[in-house]
Amino acid sequence: MGEMNTLQKVEAIKSGELSTTENIEDKLETIEERDGEINAFIETNEDVLERAKEIDRKIERGEEVGKLAGLGIGIKSNINTKGLQATCASKTLEGYVSAYDAVVVERIREEDGIILGMNNMDEFACGSSGETSAFGPTKNPSAEDRIPGGSSSGGAAAVASGMCDLALGSDTGGSIRNPASHCGVVGLKPTYGLVPRQGLVDLSMSFDQIGPLSTDVSGAALLTEAIAGLNENESAMFDLESVNYLGEVEVALDGLKIGVSSKFRELTDPEIMDPIDEAVDYLRDQGAELVEVDLPNLEKAMPTFYLILSVEFFSATRKFDGRKYGRKIEEVCGEEVLRRIVRGKYISRKEFKGKYYQRALQIRTLIKKELTEALKKADVLVGPTVPKLPHELGEDISPGEMYAYDYLTVPANLGGLCAGVLPFGKVDGIPVGLQVQGPSLGEASVLNVMKALEKR
């Protein structure tokens, strides 16, 4: 069974070749064996075996089951899941039990996915290392002593170590793609407005997007299909009922235009570019056409992103005032969360509005225009995900050094693009993720290229 991809596993479960109970028991055993060391889960779900048996009974009776039938899924701790704690890995929300399901969780349950528990993360998704959780750092199962990346650190580590089949993360400036790259798994940040955000605790509402982490491309496509589509209660969504990627994920590279940019190389450590160059060569050899695209202001995306994010985060955290639940955020949060709140408060001052915030929104437009132009010349952009290798767990690095991890991922959030990450080689034994960025609603093309590279 170890050779199956996620889609094949679902088919095996539906055909009775593998039972849901066997699959979930295997996941629980792995959690028992490995999570003490990795710390990928903040809380596990107690009723999973009961739920697994229900699905097995449905299959035995010949009833139709959903597209996620029998898969064990981890949920990032900032996504409300009824009966489990949505702590955002913060002391502010310690012990907070969700009274309702986020729309994405409802959809997973409707498709017969099994919620294994709540994954660890950087506190309030503020971090790129997986070290800022109030419940302790997560270890990288694919690179000993290195950070797993963040902020969806627990989900990526849980998938990489076999503790769950799939995980749901959230991506504001790379929080799915960065840990996917460091842990050697597949991740996808869907186009902003494709997946409902209702029930996600905001970090930065104009950037946040929920998406999948998986061991393979079929799993990312499957979970995205399950959670995507209009939620009528949201005002920033595409009017799409559903999406179909599994049917469209066929390897067809002939004539596909692959965009590459010299800016990617400029911003990235040379050793990381070696596997990326190899991937680009492979795509060209398979019939894709390489197109050099111009992204003159790409490096300006990072400071612009952090400015907008700080303002939105300051606004989003005002509800954690300690009156309705727990303690006031500023009194118990970690240093990075506090840094972003203080910065957001400072920038939100009236006299700075035009000088900084509105100016940042203008540069956001500029970067979006440049990316849109580039994606008129090319079907997808291919490049690295993270410009440097992950640092050692516990190593003291400055905020600036931490933010530098996000140079190549934040542009997709600023521009509202979709972007996927696929493990592609290693440097010094550490996984390197290749990033494929596509236009708004270009998930099928992105997954197609990822699938072609996965088959290599």
Partner 1 sequence: MKDKNFDKIRESAEEILESFAEISEGLPSQEETYYEQDTLSVLRSDGKPSSKKDLEEFRKNFLKNMPDRDEEGNLKVEVAEWAK
The residue among 160, 87, 172 whose CA lies nearest residue 403 is 172
Question: Any alpha helices (H) in 61-161, and if so which ranges?
Answer: 103-110, 153-160
Q: Which of 4, 65, 252, 366 binds partner 1 (CB under 8 A)?
A: 366
Per-residue exposure over 286-325, b if at least 16 CB sit within 10 Å of its own CB, e if not? bebeeeebebebbebbbebbbbbbbbbbbebbeebeeeee
User: Could you give the residue ranges of the DSSP H alpha helices within 317-442?
Assistant: 329-332, 335-347, 358-377, 399-403, 410-415
351 interacts with partner 1 by CB under 8 A: no
Instruction: Using CB under 8 A, pick the residue from 32, 145, 285, 335 that binds partner 1.
Output: 335
Is 15 one of the binding residues for partner 1 (CB under 8 A)? no
Q: How many residues belong to the chain?
A: 456
User: What is the closest distance, in whole angstroms, from the C-beta atom of residue 173 to partner 1 in the complex?
Assistant: 14
- Rounded to an integer, what distance in angstroms lies between the CA atom of residue 163 and that of residue 143? 16
Q: Is 151 noted as a catalytic residue in this protein?
A: yes
Quote the least distance from Cβ 289 to partner 1, whole Å: 28
CB of 149 to partner 1, least distance (A): 22
Amino acid symbol at 243 = V
Burial of 265 (0-12, 13-18, 19+ CB in 10 A): middle
Task: Work out how close the CB of 356 gets to partner 1 at its nearest, in angstroms, rounded to a whole number.
Answer: 6
Applying CB under 8 A, does 352 fall inside the site for partner 1?
Answer: yes
Residue 76 is a catalytic residue: yes
Pairing of strands 209-214, 166-171: antiparallel
Q: Which of 90, 98, 129, 151 is catalytic?
A: 151
Which of residues 289 and 299 has its CB atom nearest to partner 1 in the complex? 299
**Which position among 76, 91, 139, 263 bears the catalytic label?**
76
394 binds partner 1 (CB under 8 A): no
- C-beta of 325: minimal distance to partner 1 in Å? 6
- CA 408 to CA 388: how far, in whole Å? 10
**Among the residue ranges 27-35, 39-47, 261-269, 355-363, the one whose residues contact partner 1 (CB under 8 A):** 355-363
CB-based burial, 158-196: b 16+ in 10 Å, e otherwise: bbbbbbbbbbbbbbbbbbbbbbbbbbbbbbbbbbbbbbb
Residue from 25, 49, 67, 238 touching partner 1 (CB under 8 A): that is 238
Region for residue 174 given its phi and psi (left: phi exceeds 0; alpha: psi -120 to 50; beta: otherwise): left
343 lies in the site for partner 1, by CB under 8 A = yes
Q: Does 300 bind partner 1 (CB under 8 A)?
A: yes
- The answer to whether 415 and 368 are in contact (CB under 8 A) is yes
Q: Does 99 bind partner 1 (CB under 8 A)?
A: yes
CB of 387 vs partner 1, minimal distance in Å: 17
In the region spanning residues 166 to 205, those forming contacts with partner 1, defined by CB under 8 A, are: 191-193
What is the Cα–Cα distance from 163 to 32, expressed in whole angstroms? 9
Q: Quick one: 355 or 426, whose CB is closer to partner 1?
A: 355
Cβ-based nearer residue to partner 1, 26 or 299 = 299
Our finding on whether 358 is near partner 1 (CB under 8 A) is yes
Which pair of tokens denotes residue 353? 């509005």
Is 239 a binder of partner 1 (CB under 8 A)? yes
Catalytic residue among 19, 152, 175, 310: 175
- Region near partner 1 per CB under 8 A, out of 32-40, 93-101, 135-143, 213-221: 93-101
Cite the beta strand spans of 125-227 per DSSP E. 166-171, 186-189, 209-214
- Applying CB under 8 A, does 310 fall inside the site for partner 1? yes
What does the alpha-carbon distance between residue 206 and residue 208 come to, in Å, rounded to a whole number?
A: 6
Please, are residues 168 and 155 in contact by the beta-carbon 8 Å criterion?
yes
Of positions 236, 242, 254, 396, contacts partner 1 by CB under 8 A: 236
Q: List all residues 6 or more positions away from 370 whose beta carbon is below 8 Å from its beta carbon.
A: 294, 295, 296, 297, 298
> Which span (159-167, 211-219, 243-251, 349-357) binds partner 1, by CB under 8 A?
349-357
Nearest distance from C-beta of residue 157 to partner 1, angstroms? 28
Nearer to partner 1, 40 or 79 (CB): 79
State in angstroms the smallest separation of the CB of 194 from partner 1.
9
Q: Tokens in use for 120?
A: 């660890």
Best CA proximity match to 163, nearest among 39, 325, 300, 306: 39
* 317 is a contact residue toward partner 1 (CB under 8 A): no
Instruction: Give CA 455 to chain center in angstroms.
Output: 22
Q: Which of 53, 58, 67, 82 binds partner 1 (CB under 8 A)?
A: 82
- Residue 331 CA to chain centroid, in angstroms? 29
**Nearest to partner 1 of 21, 198 (CB atom):** 198
Q: Which residues are catalytic?
A: 76, 151, 175
> Using CB under 8 A as the criterion, which residues of the chain lie in contact with partner 1 when the complex forms?
82-83, 95-100, 191-193, 206, 232-239, 297, 299-300, 303-304, 306-307, 310, 324-325, 330-332, 335, 338-339, 342-343, 346-347, 352, 355-356, 358-366, 368-369, 399-400, 415-416, 440
